[in-house]
Amino acid sequence: MDQTNQPVETTESTEQGGRSILAILRRRWWIIALFVVGAVVVTAAIALTAAPVYRSSLRMQAQALDAQDVTLYTRLNVGAATDQIAVTQANFNDVLRSSLVAWRTINDLGLSISADTLLAGLETTQAGDFVSVSYEGSSPQEAMDVLNKHVENALAYYNELTARPAAAAGQFIQSEAVEQAKTVTAAQDALLQFQLEHNVGDLPREINAVQDVLRDLESRRDAALVDSRQADALARQYTQFAADSEDDLTTVEETLATVISDTVEGDAIGLAEIDRLQETVAGLRSQIGDYRSAEREQQAAAAALRAVVAENESLISQHSADLTQLIGLSSEYNGLVGAVANAQGDQEFLRAKAVEARLKEAQSRDVGALQVVEPAFLPSAPANPPVLRLILLAGLVSLLLAVVVVLLLELARPG
């Protein structure tokens, strides 16, 4: 029986509770009305008497630049372009809200406000690669001028900060380049001293030149040796020819003597034979003379060629000693040349890095990672919120607050 009546009782208690709340609100309506009317009046007075506020905005685009660090040996991992842009936007937002930059803007424009007041009027939003900055001022011109000057100062300061790593690296590299120039000069002086001491310029070229001379002398020596042997052989042949001719001459002379002794006066045949034999003797004697002359010529030529061989042998020995000496200098010379080459290579490396540092510093200072793509505009109307909307909002909030206060008062009243 009790379970059957429970829902009915709950419904009745709910209705009684609702009627009691409405009764409370009707009984203390004047408190609610006082809250609402007061809030509406105060809000309307503030809104109607508030000075107009003008908002000017501009838009910038962030771009991913090369890392501004100038690395000497290792390449830093700077992350993806999106990460660089996000870092750029966050860092620029910090610079934009810097009191130092705010005071620079105030001094540049001669404003009579504090840095906190200026920064309170700033608002930044980010969307993708873009950064939007707005400023609220008491006049359209002030809003635009303050925004332009403050963003200009912030960009200048931000570019100066981002250029510092490259500038510091450039200064360090320049100092190292000066020291490296001294190292190059010292290495070149050591090489020059070596060249003057040993009377050599380009040692490998000197060695090649001596080797070429040796090859030429050896070629000449070998040719002279072959020619001398040929001359000796010819001389021996002429000697043999002369000896054979002398034997023939002896035989013919013996025959001539016999014929002369056997020939009687008036013997025509004998006389003809004598004439023939005498001509043969004369021819053989002339031939022997020619052979002996040719023999002497070949012997003289062989002697001259042997002298050439001996002279070439002496020159070959001298140049071989020079070549041995030059080759012995190669180790020291190559070390000095290598020291000059290494020093010059390091100098060129530092020179290239100095150029890189200078370009990156100029890129940061003159270009920067943020560019204004939509400049600030001169606002044509105040940016204050509509008065009616503020009054309605104040009325709604005050109504809710009054209801809560009335209920609390009712609960706090002694039973």
> Is residue 125 one of the residues assigned to a domain?
no
257 plus 312 within the same structural domain: yes
Contact (CB, 8 A) for 37 and 110:
no
Q: Measure the CA–CA gap between 264 and 192, rounded to whole angstroms.
A: 99
Kindly state whether residues 320 and 208 are assigned to the same domain. Answer: yes
Per-residue model confidence (pLDDT) at position 38:
78
Residue 86 belongs to a domain:
no
Same domain, 405 and 339: no
Question: SS3 for 62?
Answer: strand
Cβ atoms 224, 311 nearer than 8 A: no
CATH code where residue 259 lies: 1.10.287.1490
Q: How far apart are CA 269 and CA 264, in angstroms?
A: 10
- The confidence score (pLDDT) of residue 166 equals 86
Mean pLDDT by 10 residues, the chain (415 residues): 44 52 74 77 63 81 68 52 84 92 93 90 88 86 90 91 87 91 94 91 91 94 93 93 90 86 74 85 91 92 92 93 91 93 94 89 82 83 58 75 77 68
Res 78: pLDDT: 47
Same domain, 397 and 260: no
Concatenated DSSP letters of 246-270: HHHHHHHHHHHHHHHHHPPTT-HHH
Q: Which residues contact 398 (CB under 8 A, 6 or more apart)?
A: 35, 36, 38, 39, 40
Q: What is the pTM of this model?
A: 0.57
Residue that is written with structure tokens 């009325």 in the block: 395
Residue 213 and residue 343 in one domain: yes
Give exposure, 214-240, as e/b (b: 16+ Cβ within 10 Å): beebbebbeebbebbeebbebbeebbe
Q: How many domains does the chain have?
A: 2
Structure tokens at 253: 């002379």
Instruction: Choose the final residue of a domain: 354, 375, 392.
Output: 354
Task: Let me know if residue 243 belongs to a domain.
Answer: yes
Say yes or no: 291 and 411 in one domain. Answer: no
Residues 332 and 389 in one domain: no
Could you tell me if residue 102 is inside a domain?
Answer: no
End-to-end CA distance of the chain: 33
Do 300 and 241 lie in a common domain?
A: yes
407 shares its domain with 308: no
Residue 70: predicted pLDDT:
55
pLDDT at 89: 87
The pLDDT value recorded for residue 341 is 95
pLDDT at residue 121, rounded to an integer: 87
Looking at the structure, tell me whether residues 249 and 311 fall in a common domain. Answer: yes
d(CA 208, CA 323): 9
Q: Which residues contact 76 (CB under 8 A, 6 or more apart)?
A: 67, 69
Residue 379 domain-assigned (yes or no): no
pLDDT of residue 404: 79
In a shared domain, residues 398 and 337: no
What integer pLDDT is reported at residue 4 of this predicted model? 44
Domain extent at residue 402:
1-50+384-415
Determine, yes or no, domain membership for 2. yes
Same domain for 284 and 401: no
